[in-house]
Amino acid sequence: MKKIIIIGAGIAGLCAGVFARLNGFDVEVFEMHSKPGGQCTGWQRGAYHFDNCIHWLMGSKNGLPLNKLWRTVGALDDSVKIINNEIFATYQSGDKTINIYRNLDRLKAHLLEVAPEDTKEIKRFCDDAKKFVKLSMPVDKAYDMFTKRDMFQLVFKMIPIVSSLRRYENISMGELAARFKNKDLQRAITAIIPSQYKASSLPATLASLHDMDSGWPQGGSLAFSKRIENKLLSLGAKLNYNCRVSGIIINDGKAKGIMLQDGSTHSGDHVVAAADGYEVIYNLLKGQYTDETIKTLYSDSKAYPVYSSVFISLGIEADLSNYPTPLYFKLKTPIDTGGQIHEFMTARHYCFEPSFAPPGCSAVTILFEADYDWWKKKKENPVQYKYEKERITEEVIHAFTEKFPESNNKIKKIDMATPLTYERYCNAYRGAWMSWAPTPGAKIRFITGMPQGLDNFYLTGQWTMPPGGLPTAVMTANWTIQRICARENVRNFFIDRAV
Ligand SMILES: Cc1cc2nc3c(=O)[nH]c(=O)nc-3n(C[C@H](O)[C@H](O)[C@H](O)COP(=O)(O)OP(=O)(O)OC[C@H]3O[C@@H](n4cnc5c(N)ncnc54)[C@H](O)[C@@H]3O)c2cc1C
């Protein structure tokens, strides 16, 4: 059987491996890190586990098309409990509290109580969001393999929401927030999705929550990744960790294999690159196979921005389970995370996960948007870089203990990641947490991942379909293997038809 080499064991790489094995290909994966999952990960510090990724998982609801994909790759099954908290997030400022309820009717009633001055806008927004529930994007088949019938079905599905969609497609989250008069409500909604993002992201997310999708899979991100790794190994794939790919072997316009940093070479019939997009396109392929879409995505940072973060994790010998999670609250003193001043903090405790902290203790993570260039500059001077990490950690702990007084003198583990940490561990372009953010007015651009002039080579994962995220990783992995099946004239397991 033909062999597929996969670069990267993030979610896209692992899933591509599973789909490839299910379609009968030999599979060998090369990952630079020592563990699976890429950005979908978590780390242990003493008795505490800190989760890096899943805040909400689209496709967690049994029966949805995306759920079928997660089950196929082994990420979810009936033994994995899905937690769908009634309150998705809580906002607090002074004596004001706003709960983002999962149920849209409950949310509407609550918002009308909190901000009666915005009655008209709240009703319109919540009613619009409900219409998005009916919108389920096709996940089974690559868009470039769509037939006219598939296209017609997609357009037909969109009809009921077109008028609502138009109200959010061309404005940002900040502009959507400004439609409300109530300042707390304005801040609460931009706490869920950043203010620069396209506003349609919010009704789509709330609709998914209302539909009892987008839950938390028990065990968290690393356990999620490990289940896919297990499935891949059980199907007979070979997985190599601590193997950084440094080049693609190309002969006569065809990818023939890869070269590792240690100089060894490995050949295959197809090469699937599920690593960071910039690394693949500009480093491994030396920028020789770009096109207009790729050039625009990587150069027009106004229309296609990427965002990174500082991520502070705290292991606390105190039970914080009575607090809402995540809690977005106003700081008494703003915190500067490097070129960005924050007046609010989002703290997320995981007391609902017994394996994340000893009994009576709490694992907490705090994420702030941060400027990659600022941190890159600081890194040039290791003393300054260390100083800034310590300064921010100290300020965060001070603000945190003010809000959660039980934590005072009870913080036993502290961990801090900067944009450069994500770059170091995952090779993430500009330390980004996802790929290009959707901004209003920017044309939707996909990378098919099949560079012109280079056969047998495929790019997959979050950098082929903005804005990325876990659903993109599994969907694009499936589509890439469908393209290879089409090339090899193999009947595709998943779409169950000869292609
Ligand atoms: C803080 C945070 C919170 C998030 N929250 C959510 C959420 O709630 N919901 C959601 O859907 N998504 C979320 N995401 C985004 C999600 O984690 C990513 O979109 C997804 O994991 C991307 O998967 P991927 O496989 O495409 O890429 P990656 O995870 O980047 O995987 C790429 C892999 O390739 C490896 N690699 C890179 N270069 C090389 C090389 N040269 N040789 C060998 N290996 C290489 C990397 O080490 C990595 O393992 C979050 C991300 C972050 C950081």
pLDDT in tens, 248-281: 999 999 999 999 999 999 999 999 999 999 999 9
pLDDT at 142 over 50: yes
DSSP code of 160? Answer: G
Residue 9 Cβ inside 6 Å of ligand 1? The answer reads: yes
Q: Which of 337, 320, 308, 481 is nearest to 396 (CA)?
A: 337
Contact at 8 Å (CB) between 5 and 274?
no
Two tokens at 495? 């779409």
- Give the contacts of 423 (CB within 8 A, at least 6 positions apart): 430, 431
Mutate to test the pocket of ligand 1, among 11, 15, 18, 40 (most ligand atoms within 8 A of CB): 40
Q: Shortest CA distance to 3 belongs to which of 188, 236, 225?
A: 236
| pLDDT digit string, tens, across residues 223-246 | 999 999 999 999 999 999 999 999
Percent of the chain topping pLDDT 70: 99
Spatial separation of the C-alpha atoms in residues 474 and 121, rounded to whole Å: 36
φ/ψ region of 469 (left if φ > 0, alpha if ψ in -120 to 50, else beta) reads left
Q: Mean pLDDT, to the nearest integer, of 358-379? A: 97
Among residues 350, 407, 373, the alpha carbon closest in space to that of 218 is found at 350
Tell me what the pLDDT averaged over the chain comes to. Answer: 94
Nearest to 61 by CA among 167, 215, 267: 215
Inform me whether the pLDDT recorded for 204 exceeds 80. yes
State whether the beta carbon of 266 lies less than 6 angstroms from ligand 1.
no
In single-letter form, the type of residue at position 156 comes to F
Confidence check: pLDDT of 459 > 80: yes
Per the structure block, which two tokens stand in for 427? 């090779």
* Spacing, Cα 10 to ligand 1 middle (Å): 6
* Residue ranges covered by each domain of the chain: 3-40+63-78+219-303+438-488, 101-211, 308-431
CA–centroid distance, 71 to ligand 1, in Å, is 19
The answer, yes or no, to whether any atom of ligand 1 lies below 6 A from the CB of 239, is no
> Is the pLDDT assigned to residue 493 strictly greater than 90?
no
Tell me the C-alpha distance between 57 and 221, whole Å. 10
pLDDT score of 136 more than 90: no
d(CA 96, CA 50): 29
**496: pLDDT strictly greater than 70:** no
Tokens of 344: 């609010």
Ligand 1 near 275 CB (within 6 A): yes
Residue nearest to atom 38 of ligand 1 (CA): 275
- Whether a cis peptide bond, with omega within 30° of 0, leads into 467 is yes
Residues 389-418, mean pLDDT to the nearest whole number: 97
Q: Which of 115, 208, 139, 131 has the alpha carbon at shortest distance from 168?
A: 131
Picking from 222, 283, 244, the residue whose alpha carbon sits closest to that of residue 425 is 244
Please name the residue that has the structure tokens 């959010």.
168
Q: Work out whether strand 411-417 and strand 308-316 pair parallel, antiparallel, or are unpaired.
A: antiparallel
Does pLDDT of 203 surpass 90? Answer: yes
Nearest CA to ligand 1 atom 15: 469
Residue 26: which pLDDT band, with cuts at 50, 70 and 90?
very high
Residues 6+ apart with CB under 8 A from 353: 49, 51, 218, 219, 220, 363
**Which band of pLDDT confidence, cut at 50, 70 and 90, is reported for residue 494?**
low
Separation of CA 279 and ligand 1 centre (Å): 13
In the reported structure, the alpha carbon of residue 461 is separated from the centroid of ligand 1 by a whole-number distance in angstroms of 8
Q: Where are the alpha helices (DSSP H) in 100-161?
A: 104-114, 119-131, 148-158
55 CB less than 6 Å from ligand 1? Answer: yes
Residue 359 falls in which region: left (phi positive, over 0), alpha (psi -120 to 50) or beta: beta
Provide the pLDDT for residue 228: 98
Distance CA 102, CA 100 (A): 6
Write down the residue that tokens 């372009």 correspond to: 429
Q: Is the pLDDT of residue 477 over 60?
A: yes
Mutation choice for ligand 1 from 39, 228, 248, CB with most ligand atoms inside 8 A: 39
pLDDT tens digits, one per residue of 411-431? 999 999 999 999 999 999 999
* Ligand 1 pocket member 12 (CB < 6 A): yes
Residue 463 Cα: closest atom of ligand 1: 26
Backbone angles phi, psi at 105, to 5 degrees: -70, -40
Integer Rg of the chain from CA: 23
Cβ–ligand 1 contact at 297 (below 6 Å) = no
Spatial strand order of the sheet with 254-260 comes to 245-251, 254-260, 265-267
pLDDT at residue 498, as a whole number: 33
| Residue 464 pLDDT > 60 | yes
- In Å, how far are 135, 163, 407 from 160, measured between CA atoms? 9, 8, 49
Confidence of residue 143 (pLDDT cuts 50, 70, 90): confident
Reported as half-sphere exposure (CB side, CA atoms, 13 A), residue 141 has a value of 17
435 lines ligand 1 (CB under 6 A): no
Q: What percent of the chain has pLDDT over 90?
A: 86
For atom 4 of ligand 1, the residue with the nearest CA is 53
Quickly state the pLDDT bin for 497 (edges 50, 70, 90): very low
CATH class given for the domain over 3-40+63-78+219-303+438-488? alpha beta
* Pair of tokens at residue 143: 């868009």
